């Protein structure tokens, strides 16, 4: 995760496996789209930069972050990706809704990873305010979408090596 101490958006491409033969799905929440569009752009651009072919990257949109889990599970049966990236942004408000959504999505991605045969990459920003989200979607802490793409490539490679 990008923090003030480590920004994973700054990486050595030589240390990342070749993604040219891999297929990816990116599932993106439309809620907070000014943030999630930047996350999607970062993930997509990083996959391309590291060898993935545009025709091997499927992007799908869902209304909100809670729907990411369902979409991530369903898209696997459709396109058979090597990894799925889920991207969303939940900004804390005045009600406990934030806690329920964040917890549900976290548990859902944990379950998908525990039960699935491919990696599901958790790219949900859970921030206290809009500025924190901006800082992590191409701002001073890099782009979490970049980081998710790198994790997807590394974990897809891992899954292929340890079948």
Residue 9 lies in a domain: no
Q: Tell me: the pLDDT tens digits for 82-134?
A: 999 999 999 998 888 888 999 999 999 999 999 999 999 999 999 999 999 99
Which residue range(s) make up the domain with 84? Answer: 21-161
Q: Are 87 and 109 in contact (CB under 8 A)?
A: no
Residue 54 lies in a domain: yes
Residue 16 lies in a domain: no
Q: Tell me: the pLDDT tens digits for 8-58?
A: 567 777 889 999 999 999 999 999 999 999 999 999 999 999 999 999 999
* Residues annotated catalytic, as ranges: 97
Residue 82 lies in a domain: yes
pLDDT in the model for residue 82: 97
Residue 107 lies in a domain: yes
Residue 15 lies in a domain: no
pLDDT in the model for residue 4: 57
pLDDT in the model for residue 1: 45
The tally of domains found in the chain comes to: 1
DSSP-H helix ranges across the chain? 33-49, 68-79, 97-115, 130-136, 144-161
Report whether pLDDT(160) > 90. Answer: no
Mean pLDDT for 143-154 is 96
Domain of 140, CATH number, reads 3.40.50.960
Residue 12 lies in a domain: no
Quote the DSSP letter at residue 22: -
Residue 1 lies in a domain: no
Distances (CA, A) of 147 to 1, 85, 96, 115, 156: 7, 10, 28, 23, 14
């Amino acid at each position: 995760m990008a923090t003030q101490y480590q920004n994973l958006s700054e990486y050595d491409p030589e240390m990342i496996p070749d993604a040219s033969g891999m297929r990816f799905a990116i599932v993106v929440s439309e809620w907070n789209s000014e943030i999630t569009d930047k996350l999607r752009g970062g993930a997509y651009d990083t996959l391309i930069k590291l060898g993935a072919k545009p025709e091997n990257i499927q992007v799908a949109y869902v209304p909100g972050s809670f729907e990411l889990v369902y979409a991530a599970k369903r898209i696997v049966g459709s396109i058979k990706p090597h990894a799925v990236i889920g991207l969303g942004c939940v900004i804390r408000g005045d009600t406990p809704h934030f806690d329920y959504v964040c917890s549900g999505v976290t548990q859902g991605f944990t379950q998908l990873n525990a039960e699935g045969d491919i990696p599901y990459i958790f790219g949900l920003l859970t921030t206290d305010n809009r500025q924190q989200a901006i800082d992590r979607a191409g701002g001073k802490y890099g782009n979490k979408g970049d980081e998710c793409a790198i994790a997807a490539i590394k974990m897809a490679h891992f899954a292929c090596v340890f079948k």
